[in-house]
Amino acid sequence: MGRVRNVVARANQRLSVQLAAGLLAGSTFLSMVLGLFRDRLLNSTYAENAATGSAGYPSGLDAYTVAFIIPDFMFFLLVSGALSVTFIPVFNDRIVKGNKKSAWELSTSLVNFMAILTLLSSLFIIIFAEPLVQYIVAPGLDESTRSLAVSMMRVIAINPFLFAISSVISSIQQATGRFVFFALAPVLYNIGIIIGLTVFTNGIWLFGVQVFEGGIMGVALGIVLGSMLQLILSAIGLIGLGVDYRFKIFWKNKGFRQVLRLLPPRSLDQGMDYVNSIVETNLASRMAAGSVRFYQQATTLYSVPINLIGVAISTAAFPQMTERLSQGRPDLFKKELQTVLRVIIWLALPVATITFFARGYLVNFLFNGGQPVVAGLLGILSAAILFRSVYHIASRSFYAQKDTKTPLYISVFTIGLNIALAIYFTMVLDMDIYGLAWAQSIVAAVEVFILFVIMSMRIPKLFDAVFLHAVARMLSATGFTAVVAYFMVNSFALSAEDQSFMSTFPKFSLIVIVSLGAYLLLCQLMKLDESDMVIKRTKRLIFDPYRGKESTS
């Protein structure tokens, strides 16, 4: 047991922002790969007609997609990112000032408070699943699909409770600069779902008696298994941190009361974001069969680069940004914010460009033979990748200043605009499901623009001449990259034989490598610092091992 504690403690050491960002990006990528494999498995198993159209589209996948909506909404409303951005600044204040007793009272109070709150929400979902699906989430589904969605939702309803506890634990690890177990926990979630797909769908037998029939309900059991595995690994990550947990809520703890005051605006902000998803699902359920699933798959693909770039980098940088303000160093806070913004923009621009041109390949990874509707949606959504990536660090710059209200007010406006545009595009202009994607992309740009205007007023000279000139050079390099990507995609176009993952992945990899290589080369010629960093590290990885051999020979 002592050896295990030593291994965990060694793995759970404090990381620098660069290492943490790399670890988070790597684990996010692994989780995304598993997620894509999971969805490909789902689509190939339950959606035989998905590649050609919606006629005869199986109801299981629409039901599966709808079943997540309310449990996810409750989690986003009550916990999710709201907890980390409100908890970490307050927790760090106490750690920096050496008040560990108050810090642990705060964390243990939040674990217990969130567990009680989300357990009640889980019971609410189980009781009211049927009217929630029928009247709010997906009124357009047929009766059999709706019934299946209700049954799956009642199984998944435990997720907010399990996720709430693991989120508080993960926030403690983030606040103390420990990211290893926090980064790996989501990987186990996808592994649990894959187990559900490959094992539980075949039925569960106990002592020769079949206790569970299987089918797509087995996927719901896999989701619960994944949530439990994620919680267990997150809890292991607390070893060596000196956490003093008690089954008690310290209502008089000033930090806990401060988090409770900061939490509602951010929770409403998160909830408002998910209200938009509910409206989109509601509208999609009224369209052709399969529309709910198609739109969800397009948003899944579009979220991959956002999570790899915007979320991973912002999550790694946020604790240090809050520390700068706790130390009374707004100058360092501004400098780090500029650096992170530049890195995110520099990475997101070429990725969004390649996503647009290579969208057919990406969709082919989820659907054998591709899916034209999903490809069309992804093409529209790719315009929002840059803005959604930047949004995460832009909003966190307010949270670091313990301002959760300004992002909320902006979200109320932009979500309202998104819903209005979605209804107008789909029901008035008759743009079908593509109207949802256009609304999302337009609003993403509007939201970041508003955040930038307010940020520039609060932080003078944040967007100075040096910053703007660097972004202009990035845009120039991106234009050249678009030409290269277009040429590569046309040179290695998908053919009728390109049905499997193995036949399309080599072509996609070549397109990505050549396009990114061209972007990196042009950025180097334009003397962008971000490219210098990548090239120096690449040279070190390639040549350092040989230098080591030469010195020993």
Kindly state the percentage of the chain with pLDDT values over 90.
24
Query: CA 476, 461, 16: angle at the middle one, nearest 5?
Result: 80
Q: pLDDT digits over 311-356, tens only?
A: 878 877 777 777 777 767 777 778 888 888 888 999 999 999 999 9
- Give the distance, in angstroms, between the CA of residue 124 and the centroid of all CA atoms in the same chain: 26
Of 258, 272, 233, nearest to 110 by C-alpha is 258
Q: pLDDT digits over 133-144, tens only?
A: 988 888 888 888
SS3 state of residue 209 = strand
Average model confidence (pLDDT) for the chain? 81
Q: pLDDT digits over 249-278, tens only?
A: 888 888 888 888 877 776 776 667 778 888
Q: Give the bridge partners for 209, in sequence order.
A: 206
Confidence of residue 537 (pLDDT cuts 50, 70, 90): low
Confidence of residue 49 (pLDDT cuts 50, 70, 90): very low
Asked if residues 417 and 445 have their Cβ atoms less than 8 Å apart, the reply is no
Cα separation, 47 vs 371, in Å, equals: 11
HSE, CB side, 13 Å, CA atoms: give it for residue 513.
Answer: 6
What pLDDT does residue 215 have? 78
DSSP string, 423-488: HIIIIIS--TTHHHHHHHHHHHHHHHHHHHHHHHHHSTTTT-HHHHHHHHHHHHHHHHHHHHHHHH
DSSP 8-state symbol, 384 = G
**Looking at 205-219, 342-356, 370-384, 407-421, which range is the least confident one?**
205-219
Cα separation, 288 vs 284, in Å, equals: 8
What pLDDT does residue 80 have? 64
What pLDDT does residue 442 have? 96
Amino acid making up residue 414: T
Kindly state the percentage of the chain with pLDDT values over 70.
83
Cα separation, 295 vs 300, in Å, equals: 9
Phi, psi of 211 (to 5 degrees): -95, -10
What pLDDT does residue 546 have? 46
- Which is more confident, 484 or 400? 484
Asked if residues 417 and 278 have their Cβ atoms less than 8 Å apart, the reply is no
Residues 6+ apart with CB under 8 A from 213: 203
Asked if residues 184 and 98 have their Cβ atoms less than 8 Å apart, the reply is no
Confidence of residue 1 (pLDDT cuts 50, 70, 90): low
Tell me whether residue 102 is exposed, middle or buried, using C-beta atoms within 10 angstroms of its C-beta: 0 to 12, 13 to 18, 19 or more.
buried
Please tell me which of 54-58, 77-81, 178-182, 464-468 the model is most confident about, judged by mean pLDDT. Answer: 464-468
Cα separation, 499 vs 357, in Å, equals: 19
Q: Mean pLDDT throughout 297-307? A: 89
Residue 194 has pLDDT above 80, yes or no: yes
What pLDDT does residue 545 have? 47
| pTM score | 0.74
DSSP 8-state symbol, 240 = T
Confidence of residue 58 (pLDDT cuts 50, 70, 90): very low
What pLDDT does residue 487 have? 92
- Which is more confident, 187 or 45? 187
What pLDDT does residue 56 have? 39
* Structure tokens, 472: 């202009």
Residue 470 has pLDDT above 60, yes or no: yes
* Structure tokens, 435: 């109207």
User: How crowded is residue 208: how many other Cβ atoms within 10 Å of its Cβ?
Assistant: 5
Question: CA end-to-end span of the chain, whole Å?
Answer: 43
Q: Mean pLDDT throughout 488-509? A: 78
Cα separation, 257 vs 250, in Å, equals: 9
Asked if residues 381 and 302 have their Cβ atoms less than 8 Å apart, the reply is yes
Residue 484 has pLDDT above 60, yes or no: yes
Residue 53 has pLDDT above 50, yes or no: no
Residue 120 has pLDDT above 80, yes or no: yes
Structural Rg of the chain based on CA atoms: 24
Confidence of residue 31 (pLDDT cuts 50, 70, 90): confident
Residue 286 has pLDDT above 90, yes or no: no
What pLDDT does residue 544 have? 52
DSSP 8-state symbol, 201 = G
